[in-house]
Structure 1
Amino acid sequence: MAATSTSLASQLYIGLRRPCPKLDSFNSPSFSAFDPNLRLSLSPPKPSRAVVAMAGSGKNGTKDSISKLVADLNSAKLEPDVDVVVAPPFLYIDQVKNSLTDRIEISAQNSWVGKGGAFTGEIRYYFFYVPSVLHAVFDAIPIAEQVKDIGCKWVVLGHSERRHIIGENDEFIGKKAAYALNQGLGVIACIGELLEEREAGRTFDVCFQQLKAYADAVPSWDNIVIAYEPVWAIGTGKVATPQQAQEVHVALRDWLKKNVSEEVASKTRIIYGGSVNGGNSAELAKQEDIDGFLVGGASLKGPEFATIVNSVTSKKVAA
C-alpha cells in the first residue's frame, strides 16, 4: 500500500537493536575504504547482536492508508528481540498511537531546538537563507515537550532532507538532539554524505564532522541511535554494498571509541539507510556493525517491512 502524493513529510518505521555488553579492547590492523589514501584503525569485533529495522518513505499518508498500514503491522509476526518504532507525519501521530499495537513504539519525525513560544497557527517556524533570498519556512516542527506529551518516545533528527533542503546545519542539529534528550526522548541521529562528497573521498570526513556535532552537544549517548544514510542512496534505488556499508559503520564505531569512549562505541546502535528492501536486508544484516535499517518505500508495504524487521535471523545464522 502506498500513498498517492509526495512530500517532505514521510512515514518512518524504525527498529532499534538492544544494547550489548562492553567490549574488550585490542589492537587491530588498519584498512582503507573508499579513499585509498585514507586509513584508520578498526574497532574490535563485537559479540553477536540482534539486528533491527528502521524504515521510512518520502510519501504522505492519508487516514485510510495509515489505517491499512497499521493493520498490516498489527498482524505481522515480528522477531521478539527487535525494537520497532514508527514515526508517522505529525498530524497522524494520535491516530497511530490509538490504533497501533504496544509492541511498536512511536517517534516524531523532528523537533525544535528549545521550548515553544507564541507562534499562532504554527507549531514552530523559522527563517533560513538561500543565497540572496530570505525564506520563511512555516514547517510543522513540534517542540520536544509536545512530542513527549502525545506519547512519542523517540524523535528523528538530522535527516538528509532537513540538512540539504531545509538548511539545518550540524551545530543546530546537535543542539536539537541535546534538548530532546534532556526532555526524556530517544534520538535517531541521522548522518550521511552526498554523492559528490563520496566521489571526492570525503565520506569519513563528512560523517565524522556530523557525528562530532552530536558528541559536542549531547549530555549522554544512552538514548541515541545513529542512522547512517548515504544521501546518494536515499530513494534512488542505489544501495551501498554490504561491504561498503560495513566499512562506514565500523569507522563510525571506531570514531566513537577514540573520541567518546569504548563503552559508548560498543553499546551505540548504528543502523543503515538507503534503498533497503526485503531483498537486500538479509545480506546487509549479516554485517557485524550494521545494527538495523532506515528503510524507504518498503515502509509502506507492511509484509515487506516485517521481512526487513525479521532479517535479525540473518545475524543469528551468520554468528
Structure 2
Amino acid sequence: MGTVTQGGSRQGRTPLIAGNWKMNLDYQQAIALVQKLDWALKDAKHDASSVEVAVFPPFTDLRSVQTLISADKIEFSLGAQDLSVHDSGAYTGEISGQFLKKLDCGYVLIGHSERRQYHDEGDDVVAAKVKAAIKHGLVPVICVGETAEDLETHGASAVPVAQLKTALTDVAAGTEVVVAYEPVWAIGSGQAATPEQAQQVCEKLRAVVAEALGADAAAATRILYGGSVAAGNIAGFMREPDVDGALVGGASLKVDDFAAIIRYQKHVGV
C-alpha cells in the first residue's frame, strides 16, 4: 500500500487496481481465486511494483484471504467492503475498523453506490465512516458518483464533487485517502463512461482533495474509475492524467479478465 513506489509510478502515484467482490465467493472460492490470480500474474512475469493490486472480499472471507496472502507472500493488498462508525458495542451485525486492522486490512470501501442505494447511507454517514477508518489506520476508498437522473438534473461532476466535499469534512490535511468515481448509470450496464468523461470528473475531484487536504495530498491521492471496467477499456482510462486505477466489480471475479486489467501496461503499451 502507499502512493509512491520506485519504477512503476504515474507522476508519483502508483496505479491501483482494486477488485470489489461484493457478495460473491465463499471462503474456499476466495482462496482459490487469489491463488489462481497470483499464479496467472507470476506466469505472465507481471511486475508487482508497477501496479498495486487490492482485493475486497466479503467479511466472511477476510481471515482466509489474509492468511493466504501472508503465508504465500502474495503481493496483494487487502480491503474490506464496509465498516461501522462505532468502535465496539451493541451493534449487531456491524464490523469495527479495529477488527479490520487486526486482519491486516489496509483499505476499506466507504460510500459505495450499493450502500448508498440499498442501505440509505447518506453523505453524513459516509463522512462518519471516513473518520472511523482513519482513526483505526485504514485508508478509506471513498466512493462517489451520480445516477442518470443526477446527471440530467445537475450535470456532470456536480453530485460526486458535493459528496466528496462532505466526506472530507474535518479530515486532517495530508491524510491518505483513495477516491473512486462510480458513474452509477454505467455500473453493470456494459456501457462505461468514456475516458474523457471520467477525466473531466476526476480532475474536479482532485481539486476537491486539494482544497480539503492540501496540494501535496491532492498530487499523491489516487483517483479510481469504477463502472463496467473491462480488459478492453481499461487502457483508455489509464491514459487520462487524473485516473490512477480502477475499482473493478464483476470482472474481478474472473481470473483471466482481472489479470488482463491488472496487466494493462503490457498488453496495450500504456
Compute the TM-score of the two structures, normalised by the length of structure 2. Answer: 0.87
Question: Does 2:3 align with 1:18?
Answer: yes
Extract unaligned runs of 5+ from structure 2. none
Question: Does 2:59 align with 1:90?
Answer: yes
Question: Does 2:252 align with 1:299?
Answer: yes
SS in 2 for 1:156: strand
Distance 1:148 1:58, change over 3 A: closer
Alignment of 1:57-206 (within 5 A): 57-77=21-41, 78-79=46-47, 80-100=49-69, 101-119=73-91, 122-124=92-94, 142-206=95-159
Taking the aligned partners of 1:314 and 1:200, their CA distance within structure 2 comes to 39
Taking the aligned partners of 2:129 and 2:102, their CA distance within structure 1 comes to 17
Distance 1:48 1:106, change over 3 A: closer
Cα pair 2:78 2:105 within 8 Å, conserved:
yes
Taking the aligned partners of 2:235 and 2:34, their CA distance within structure 1 comes to 24
Taking the aligned partners of 1:298 and 1:110, their CA distance within structure 2 comes to 20
SS in 1 for 2:53: strand
* Greater Cα radius of gyration, structure 1 or 2: 1
Cα pair 2:224 2:244 within 8 Å, conserved:
yes
Extract unaligned runs of 5+ from structure 1. 1-15, 21-45, 125-141
Could you report, residue by residue, the CA deviation over 1:112-151 in whole angstroms, capped at 9, with x for unpaired residues? 11211134xx333xxxxxxxxxxxxxxxxx1111111122
Could you report, residue by residue, the CA deviation over 1:205-230 in whole angstroms, capped at 9, with x for unpaired residues? 21111111122132345321001111
Q: State the Cα distance separating 1:57 from its structure 2 match.
A: 4.2
Could you report, residue by residue, the CA deviation over 1:81-137 in whole angstroms, capped at 9, with x for unpaired residues? 222111110011111112234301111111011211134xx333xxxxxxxxxxxxx
Structure with the greater relative contact order (CA < 8 A, sep ≥ 6): 1 or 2? 1
SS in 1 for 2:17: coil
SS in 1 for 2:197: helix
| Sequence identity percentage | 34
Compute the TM-score of the two structures, normalised by the length of structure 1. Answer: 0.74
SS in 2 for 1:151: coil
What amino acid is the match of 2:123? D
What amino acid is the match of 2:58? P
> As a proportion of its length, which structure holds more strand?
1
Root mean square deviation, CA, Å: 2.2
Alignment of 1:28-67 (within 5 A): 47=11, 49-67=13-31
Question: Does 2:255 align with 1:270?
Answer: no
Taking the aligned partners of 2:223 and 2:267, their CA distance within structure 1 comes to 17
Name the counterpart of 1:214: 167
SS in 1 for 2:16: coil
Distance 1:290 1:244, change over 3 A: same
SS in 1 for 2:180: strand
Distance 1:97 1:211, change over 3 A: same
Taking the aligned partners of 1:200 and 1:314, their CA distance within structure 2 comes to 39
SS in 2 for 1:222: coil
Q: State the Cα distance separating 1:314 from its structure 2 match.
A: 7.9
Taking the aligned partners of 1:86 and 1:231, their CA distance within structure 2 comes to 21
SS in 2 for 1:232: coil
Taking the aligned partners of 2:3 and 2:255, their CA distance within structure 1 comes to 23
